Chains A and B, each alone.
Chain A
Amino acid sequence: MTLRILTVDDSRTILAMLHHTLSNAGFEVLQAEDGKQGLDVLMSHDVDVVITDINMPVMDGIEFIKNVRASGQYQSLPILILTTETSQDKRDQGKAAGGTGWIVKPFDPEKLISVINRVVH
């Protein structure tokens, strides 16, 4: 069973690196450039894990997570917050909104995979 991961980030560089790392690891990768697009993808695709940036135009990561959790369908969807913020508050905001865990940028491929494996069955 191939796990499908939705990556949401406004940086093409980060999206490309996530895509490379994740698809090499055998995951199927979907991409969105902001929270709004992310929601659109979720509407039309069955996704196993979400990795999302916080600072994005149009709809930021916090709003995105809140929206995802607000829909009953996705209460058990693991959402990982991708963030460079080492300060606690962004992470806390993300978590309060419903984030499952977080990944600190820049990420090691192994660490990224291990964090994903932490939140999926």
Chain B
Amino acid sequence: MSDLDDFKATYFDECSELMNELEEQFAAIENGERDADRLNAVFRAIHSIKGGAGAFGFSGLVGFAHAYETLLDYVRDGRVEMTDDVVTLCIRANDIVADHINAAQTGEELAADYGAEEKQRFDAIARGQRGDEDEWSGEIIEEFDIEFTPVRVELAVEEEPEAVVEAVAEAEADTFEAPPMPAVPGHWEVRFTPFRQLYSRANDPLLLFRELGALGEINVKAILTDVPALSDFEPFGVYCSWEISLFAPDLTEAAIREVFEFVDGDCRIEVVPLGSGVAPAAKSVAAPAPVAAAPVVAPKPADLLALTEDEVAAAPAASIAAPARAAEEGAGLSFADLASEIVAAAPPKVVAAPVPKPAAPKPPAAEAGEEGGNRSVGVQSIRVDLDKVDRVVNMVSELVITQSMLTQQMDENLRARYTELVRGLEVLAQTTRGLQDSVMAIRAQPVKSVFSRMPRLVRELATKTNKKIKLETIGENTEIDKTVIEQLSDPLTHMIRNSADHGIEDPEKRKARGKSEIGTIRLSAEQAGGNILIIVEDDGNGINRERVLQLARDKGLVAPDITPTDEQIDQLIFAPGFSTAEAVSDISGRGVGMDVVLSNIKKIGGSVHVRSWTGKGSRVTLRLPLTLAVLDVMLVKVGESPYVVPLSSIVETMQCSGATFERVPSGGQVLQVRGEYVQVIDVAQRFAMHSTKAADERFVVLCESEGSQKVALVVDDIIGQQQVVIKSLEENFEQVEGIAGGTILGDGNVALIVDVQGLRTTHIHQNAA
């Protein structure tokens, strides 16, 4: 059973890859790139989805995919033109396929007629292109349905003996698919004249005789009358034909012809009833063999000529007997047993082939062949369970941390005394870094996998809002840790929706403003130091600051007496429950939008920043860590508790005694740094803790948050730099404003990770409250 589950898991994995591929292909197809390669790729994707679905008996999916595939087949061979209408239909069809896949995965039932309308449209389009409607879909689909015996891959499971036997019996009945013809009991003669191509396709008369032998008693006679005079003899000519007499009660012509299924058209077959139900007399007499007449004809005609029905029948009889016997006994039959019997039974009967085989130089089987037949060849990449990679990543992260702890232990004293050890530790540090980078690279993926879903979102949004929008993507090949990518899809969707809904103006309005009617949303990704920047820009309206501020005041997010800067107003759109859409639209949703973006991004240790230019557009920047695994931090102390501040946001540190603080009228403090005034946040005060030190013994950690906004955090002590593994606070506790997560230090203590950006913006709310 678990095998089947494994296959299903593989299948669903594959499906999600194929659906991504479809998205990607259709994004290009929509842009007018409708070359054969793309259409073929689309066809193959649907074809593969259908193929697997058939194996698991997902009949709804198969039915739909089949109709879709047929249309695609027509499209790729040019019978149906890929017009924009067809593209739209296909995109809709992709959704339906995805829904079917989801339903199959979750086990839920879709309505029986789900997608029926689209299916009809496929049929209609395809039918429009062809004259002969008779063999069209109805029939094919029906035939397909018949083949839907779910594959019993779990046959080796012993607990279901009855089912197994039944399956075997069924399979036997199935093997020859004898149509319900009136059974003519008796005796048949088969005249079999192979053409040369029969051999060139690696079919072999001996095997056919073996199969005939499985049907009943047979007698094979070689006809050598066509063998030419030696002077006209072609070495590779085909001159031999055979007459086979066959006897079995209830043997039908169809069953005999079935044996020749694969060689239909490659030979001449006559099947003649010989009448009465009398068994052929000659049982074991060798066929009269004019061997001497043709000693040079074919390499080993003699072997064939001398074949008796016993010999011919022996091999297959053994193989057929096994399942039959088991079926009779009703015994639990292991599939593996069955198969090995079949295989074991066959080889002993191997008689030299009657065909002049161009001696296939068979090198001795590769020695490696003994290792279990499980080799995959021609591999440039391997698939590894993500769990395994995650385990390695985690262990490497812990290793990195241990290493940095060790390094920290080295004080001057030790350094002087143990130079060799120090050198060793330095090499270890370097190697560990290298190891970490390599391991992270394993899990990195191009952001393309997320970006590729966006063109179609934009298209849908444009249709819904009656706007003209084009999407540009830049830097799709930028790689980020897979775990980060997985968290990216929702925020990006929200951001793009927001741009399309609130940012981009109606075509008329754009025209009136002297802009192009078509609005542009630009989605880009780039690496900046230890971060990845994902930027969503639009050339729309920009943020309506008056309204944002008004709403924020109405909702009590900003106190009436505070006048935030433009930039601060812009960031308000990320405040929970904030929505500027006057009427709740079904696109940007009900005020759950940008705050979701913020919380998702914070969850993965990133930050969000928005900039807006009135009437010109806005830009939302997501700054994401390259990896979620480790974070370079500065360890500080506030009261008795350790806190960590992400190193990437720290500009400088200084002692309070040397810093110039000034009070501002609102009661807050600012720090003057080289002529610039910076907002000061006393972390102890902010988190309601008691500072343990005198004011001028404390330290200032000057940080830069999004948009180059500086903020000065006042802490009690600075302990040092190190790397930490981020643990989610939300998963283990709950979301805390101003805290991005937690981590466990080398000594077992928990330290909280300060969210610099969050501290800065929540400070406004606090002041407001």
Contact = CB atoms under 8 A, between A and B. Distances in A.
Interface of A: 1-4, 10-14, 16-17, 19-21, 23-33, 37, 40-41, 44-46, 55-57, 69, 72-79, 84, 86-87, 95, 98-102, 104-111, 113-114, 117-121
A4 B603 CA distance: 51
Contact of A14 (B55, B143, B369, B383): B55
Interface in B333-385: 335-336, 338-340, 342-344, 346-347, 349-351, 353, 355, 357-358, 360-363, 365-366, 369, 372-378, 383
B336 A24 contact: yes
Contacts of B324: none
B151 A84 contact: no
A98 B197 CA distance: 8
Interface in B37-80: 40-41, 43-44, 47-48, 50-52, 54-55
A55 B44 contact: yes
A84 B336 CA distance: 25
Contacts of A12: 10, 13-14, 383
A100 B202 contact: yes
Nearest to A114: B175
Contacts of B44: 10, 55-57
Contacts of B143: 86
Interface stretch (B85-93, B203-211, B614-622, B709-717): B203-211
B615 to A, nearest CB: 48
Contacts of A37: 377-378
Contacts of A11: 14, 48, 51-52
A113 B347 CA distance: 14
Given A106-B148, A117-B346, 9 more contacts: A14-B52, A40-B378, A73-B360, A79-B202, A105-B51, A107-B151, A111-B174, A121-B206, A121-B347
Contact of A26 (B140, B200, B339, B358): B339
A41 B368 CA distance: 14
A31 B376 contact: yes
A20 B14 CA distance: 17
B157 to A, nearest CB: 11
B247 to A, nearest CB: 22
Interface string B721-746: 00000000000000000000000000
25 contacts: A4-B369, A4-B373, A11-B14, A11-B51, A13-B55, A24-B156, A26-B344, A37-B377, A45-B366, A56-B44, A73-B358, A75-B202, A87-B140, A95-B262, A98-B202, A99-B201, A102-B262, A106-B149, A108-B151, A110-B323, A110-B335, A114-B171, A119-B262, A120-B207, A120-B346
A52 to B, nearest CB: 13
Most buried by B among A28, A72, A108: A108
A118 B262 contact: yes
A40 B342 contact: no
Interface residues of B, number: 83
Main secondary structure of the interface of A (DSSP, over half): mixed
A32 to B, nearest CB: 6
Nearest to B171: A110
A26 B50 contact: no
Nearest to B343: A26
A26 B168 CA distance: 18
Contacts of A120: 207, 346
Contact of A28 (B51, B150, B342, B373): B373
B147 A41 contact: no
Contacts of A25: 335-336, 339-340, 342-343
B167 interface: yes
B11 interface: yes
B70 to A, nearest CB: 9
Interface string B255-285: 0000001100100000000000000000000
B5 to A, nearest CB: 12
B6 interface: yes
Contacts of A74: 360
B296 interface: no
B207 A118 contact: yes
A6 B491 CA distance: 45
B155 interface: yes
Q: Nearest 8 pairs between A and B by C-beta?
A: A28-B373, A25-B339, A101-B262, A37-B378, A110-B171, A121-B350, A106-B55, A13-B11
A2 B372 CA distance: 10
A87 to B, nearest CB: 7
A86 B373 contact: no
A110 B153 CA distance: 10
Interface of B: 3, 6-7, 10-11, 13-14, 40-41, 43-44, 47-48, 50-52, 54-55, 135, 140, 143-144, 147-153, 155-156, 167-168, 171, 174-175, 199-204, 206-207, 211, 261-262, 265, 316, 319, 323, 335-336, 338-340, 342-344, 346-347, 349-351, 353, 355, 357-358, 360-363, 365-366, 369, 372-378, 383
Most buried by A among B54, B55, B148, B262: B262
A56 B44 CA distance: 7
A77 B378 contact: no
Given A57-B44, A75-B202, A14 B51 contact: yes
Contacts of A13: 7, 10-11, 14, 48, 51-52, 55
B357 A76 contact: yes
B54 A76 contact: no
B144 A86 contact: yes
Contact of A98 (B149, B200, B346): B200
Most buried by B among A3, A4, A26, A29: A26
Contacts of A114: 171, 175, 342
A3 B51 CA distance: 26
Contact of B335 (A29, A106, A109): A109
B54 A119 contact: no
A75 B200 contact: yes
A46 B366 contact: yes
Nearest to B378: A37
Given A74-B360, A76-B357, A121-B207, A84 B156 contact: no
A105 B55 contact: yes
A32 B377 CA distance: 6
B255 to A, nearest CB: 14
B152 A20 contact: no
Given A2-B373, A12-B14, A24-B156, A78 B202 contact: yes
B374 A23 contact: yes
Most buried by A among B152, B204, B377: B377
Given A14-B51, A20-B3, A55-B44, A4 B262 contact: no
Contacts of A86: 140, 143-144, 147
B43 A55 contact: yes
Contacts of A19: 374
Contact of B358 (A17, A72, A110, A119): A72
Contact of B167 (A23, A55, A110, A119): A110
A74 B361 CA distance: 9
Most buried by A among B7, B10, B343: B343
Contacts of B350: 121
Contacts of A29: 373-374
Contacts of B152: 108-109
Contacts of B48: 10-11, 13-14, 55
Contacts of A28: 369, 372-373
A76 B353 CA distance: 10
A11 B261 CA distance: 27
Nearest to B176: A114
A78 to B, nearest CB: 5
